[in-house]
Structure 1
Amino acid sequence: MTESNAPFSESEERRALRKAVAELGRKYGRDYFNAAYREGRKTTELWEEAGKLGYLGVAVPEEYGGGGGEIGDLAAVCEELAAAGCPLLLMVVSPAIVGTIIAQYGTEEQKQRWLPGLADGTSTFAFSITEPDAGSNSHRIITTAHREEDGGWRLTGGKTFISGVDEASHVLVVARTADHKTGNLKPALFLVPTDTPGFTWQEIPMGIVSPEKQFTLFFDDVRLPHDALIGSEDAGIEQLFAGLNPERIMAASFATGTARLALELATAYAKDRQVWKTPIGAHQAIAHPLAQTHIEIELARLMTQKAAALYAAGDHMGAGEAANMAKYAAGEVVCAAVDRAIQTHGGNGLAEEYGLVQMLAGSRLSRIAPVSREMVLNFVAQFSLGLPKSY
Structure 2
Amino acid sequence: MDDFLLTPEQIAWRDTVRDFVDKSITREYVRECDQERRYPYEAYRKVADQGWFGLLVPEEDGGTGFDLFAVVLLLQELGRYSVDFGAAFAVPAFTVGNIVHHGTAEQRRRYLPDFVAGDVRFSISITEPEAGSDVAAVSTRAVRDGDGFLINGVKMYSSAAHADNNVMCVLARTDPDAGRRDGLSLLLVPADTPGISMTRLPTVARRATGTNQVFFDDVRVPHEALVGEAGGGWRLITEHLEFERLTMAAIYAGNAQQAVADTVAYATTREQFGRPISKFQVIKHTLAQMQTDADIASQLVYRAARSLDLGRTSLREVSMANLMAAELLYKVAGEGMQILGGAAQLPEADLERYWREGKQAMVGGGTSQIQRSIIARTMGL
Using structure 2 for the length normalisation, give the TM-score: 0.93
Separation of aligned partners in 1, 2:338 and 2:64: 42
Deviations 1:196-217 (A, max 9, x none): 1111111111122632111101
Aligned residue for 1:88, secondary structure, equals helix
Match of 2:369 among 368, 371, 374: 374
Does the 8 Å contact 1:146/1:155 carry over to 2? yes
Specify the alignment match of 1:125 in structure 2: 122
Separation of aligned partners in 1, 2:170 and 2:87: 18
Specify the alignment match of 2:335 in structure 1: 340
Match of 1:325 among 316, 320, 327: 320
CA positional deviation for 1:55: 1.8
Deviations 1:263-287 (A, max 9, x none): 1110011111121243211222111
Specify the alignment match of 1:158 in structure 2: 154
Does the 8 Å contact 1:178/1:184 carry over to 2? no
Deviations 1:324-376 (A, max 9, x none): 11110011110011111111112212123322223332111011111100111
Q: Equivalences for 1:190-339 in 2 at 5 Å? A: 190-208=187-205, 210-315=207-312, 318-339=313-334
CA positional deviation for 1:20: 1.1
Q: Assess, with a 3 A threshold, how the Cα gap between structure 1 residues 175 and 154 changes in structure 2: closer, same or farther.
A: same
Specify the alignment match of 1:57 in structure 2: 54
Does the 8 Å contact 2:140/2:153 carry over to 1? yes
Aligned residue for 1:272, secondary structure, equals coil
Aligned residue for 1:269, secondary structure, equals helix
Stretch of structure 1 that moved more, 209-218 or 326-335 = 209-218
CA positional deviation for 1:181: 7.9
Q: Assess, with a 3 A threshold, how the Cα gap between structure 1 residues 182 and 321 changes in structure 2: closer, same or farther.
A: closer
Separation of aligned partners in 2, 1:143 and 1:336: 37
Does the 8 Å contact 1:176/1:188 carry over to 2? yes
Q: Which amino acid aligns with 1:343?
A: Q
Q: Assess, with a 3 A threshold, how the Cα gap between structure 1 residues 191 and 2 changes in structure 2: closer, same or farther.
A: closer
Separation of aligned partners in 1, 2:179 and 2:201: 38
Q: Does 1:37 align with 2:10?
A: no
Q: Equivalences for 1:164-203 in 2 at 5 Å? A: 164-167=160-163, 168-178=165-175, 185-203=182-200
Specify the alignment match of 1:92 in structure 2: 90
Separation of aligned partners in 2, 1:245 and 1:104: 14
Q: Which amino acid aligns with 1:76?
A: L
Does the 8 Å contact 2:329/2:358 carry over to 1? yes
CA positional deviation for 1:102: 0.5
Deviations 1:46-75 (A, max 9, x none): 111111112222121112222211232222
Aligned residue for 2:192, secondary structure, equals coil
By relative contact order (CA 8 Å, sep 6+), the higher-ranking structure is: 2
Q: Does 1:72 align with 2:69?
A: yes
Q: Assess, with a 3 A threshold, how the Cα gap between structure 1 residues 81 and 178 changes in structure 2: closer, same or farther.
A: same
Specify the alignment match of 1:360 in structure 2: 355
Aligned residue for 1:368, secondary structure, equals coil
Deviations 1:10-46 (A, max 9, x none): 3333322211111111022221112233345331121
Q: Assess, with a 3 A threshold, how the Cα gap between structure 1 residues 98 and 40 changes in structure 2: closer, same or farther.
A: same
Stretch of structure 1 that moved more, 180-189 or 344-353 = 180-189
Aligned residue for 2:308, secondary structure, equals helix
Deviations 1:132-169 (A, max 9, x none): 11111111110121122x33111111110111111142
Separation of aligned partners in 2, 1:40 and 1:184: 36
Q: Assess, with a 3 A threshold, how the Cα gap between structure 1 residues 152 and 258 changes in structure 2: closer, same or farther.
A: same
Separation of aligned partners in 2, 1:266 and 1:139: 42
CA positional deviation for 1:313: 2.7
Q: Where does structure 1 differ by over 4 angstroms across 4 or more consecutive aligned residues?
A: 1-4, 179-185
Separation of aligned partners in 2, 1:370 and 1:321: 15
Structure 2, unpaired ranges of 5+: none
Q: Does 1:135 align with 2:141?
A: no
Q: Assess, with a 3 A threshold, how the Cα gap between structure 1 residues 2 and 178 changes in structure 2: closer, same or farther.
A: closer
Aligned residue for 1:218, secondary structure, equals strand
Q: Does 1:19 align with 2:19?
A: no
Give the number of equivalent residue pairs. Answer: 378
Does the 8 Å contact 2:143/2:150 carry over to 1? yes
Q: Assess, with a 3 A threshold, how the Cα gap between structure 1 residues 39 and 236 changes in structure 2: closer, same or farther.
A: closer
Aligned residue for 1:135, secondary structure, equals coil
Separation of aligned partners in 2, 1:26 and 1:50: 13
CA positional deviation for 1:238: 1.9
Structure 1, unpaired ranges of 5+: none
Separation of aligned partners in 2, 1:3 and 1:255: 18
Separation of aligned partners in 1, 2:180 and 2:53: 40
Q: Assess, with a 3 A threshold, how the Cα gap between structure 1 residues 240 and 353 changes in structure 2: closer, same or farther.
A: closer
